[in-house]
Amino acid sequence: MTTKVPPQLRGKVWHSTSIENAKSIVGCGAILAEPELSETKRWGSATQLFVRSIGGISLFDFRLPNSHSSGLLSRFVPCKVDLIRTVWFEIDLSKLGSSFLSAEDTRLRWINAGMNTQYMPKLEAASLCAIPISCIKTVYVCDRRGVFRVTALEEFA
Domains in the chain and their CATH numbers? 3-156 (3.20.170.20)
Sort strands 3-4 and 148-151 into parallel, antiparallel or unpaired.
unpaired
Q: What is the pLDDT of residues 38-73, one digit of tens each?
A: 655 555 544 577 888 888 999 999 998 765 555 677
Residue 5 main-chain phi, psi, to 5 deg: -75, 125
pTM for the model: 0.86
| pLDDT > 80? residue 19 | yes
Residue among 151, 146, 40, 10 at smallest CA distance from 85: 146
Distance CA 154, CA 52 (A): 28
